[in-house]
Chains A and B, each alone.
Chain A
Amino acid sequence: DAGITQSPRHKVTETGTPVTLRCHQTENHRYMYWYRQDPGHGLRLIHYSYGVKDTDKGEVSDGYSVSRSKTEDFLLTLESATSSQTSVYFCAISHTTDTGELFFGEGSRLTVL
């Protein structure tokens, strides 16, 4: 299995609180992605990174920010969590942007009360 760890794996928080999810990889892959998975929507891209300090928005980026200060770490922050951000969040990595497959972490289940 690809070396990807997500933390925390489970979190319950209250509306309005900040939340940070961490993705750590040991594969030295350049590209990293954050997706959310919701029933009926499949996986939707939140943000992605194509290198240290290089990030861009995905399809559902509102309410989320990211940072990548090191190759191995990609952080997803919810500045002020809302109930609509209750979801399962997946981090993925890839060594190429076009033809390479993605390797996924085990997911972080976030519940916002």
Chain B
Amino acid sequence: AQSVAQPEDQVNVAEGNPLTVKCTYSVSGNPYLFWYVQYPNRGLQFLLKYITGDNLVKGSYGFEAEFNKSQTSFHLKKPSALVSDSALYFCAVRLTSGGSYIPTFGRGTSLIVHP
């Protein structure tokens, strides 16, 4: 079955350390993968996407994500975390259903960056 998963409910990291938020997917055909961030009491904001091409995608606020086809993963990374990066992060994939592309989200990962 087609799906997207975020295996961690919460990730804790110290400020200045690198961070990784994990995402795995299961889709038929080429995956269209996205990361979004949600700050408290706000809507989701687009960070970056992978459609095709270079496996390392760079996005907003210094975030990047690595597409790994063999491991069916699309992990979000940042070399040096900031306290202001603390938020809820969602991985999303376009799943095909009856000829339509349905944007489908993982359950979200809460990132907490400690000073």
Report whether chain A binds chain B: yes
Name A's B-contacting residues (CB within 8 A): 4, 33, 35, 40-45, 48, 50, 56, 58, 90, 92, 94, 97-99, 101-107
CB-CB under 8 A for A107 and B43, given A42-B90, A58-B102: yes
Complex Cα gap A92–B68 (Å): 28
For residue A21, give the distance in angstroms from its CB to the closest CB of chain B. 14
Complex Cα gap A103–B94 (Å): 15
Across the interface, A101 reaches (CB within 8 A) one of B46, B105, B106, namely: B46
Which residues of the other chain, A, contact B34 by a CB distance below 8 angstroms? Answer: 101-102
- SS class, residues of chain A in contact with chain B: strand
B18 at the interface (CB under 8 A from A): no
Complex Cα gap A16–B43 (Å): 28
Name B's A-contacting residues (CB within 8 A): 32, 34, 36, 41-46, 49, 51, 90, 92, 94, 100-108
For residue A62, give the distance in angstroms from its CB to the closest CB of chain B. 17
Structural contact, A97 and B100, CB atoms closer than 8 A: yes
Structural contact, B102 and A101, CB atoms closer than 8 A: no
CB-CB under 8 A for A102 and B46, given A40-B107, A41-B107, A42-B90: yes
Which residues of the other chain, B, contact A44 by a CB distance below 8 angstroms? Answer: 105
Which residues of the other chain, A, contact B41 by a CB distance below 8 angstroms? Answer: 107
Across the interface, A99 reaches (CB within 8 A) one of B32, B100, B108, namely: B32
For residue A27, give the distance in angstroms from its CB to the closest CB of chain B. 14
For residue B50, give the distance in angstroms from its CB to the closest CB of chain A. 10
Interface pairs (16), CB distance under 8 Å: A4-B43, A41-B107, A42-B105, A42-B108, A45-B103, A56-B100, A90-B43, A92-B43, A92-B44, A99-B49, A102-B44, A102-B92, A104-B36, A104-B45, A106-B43, A107-B41
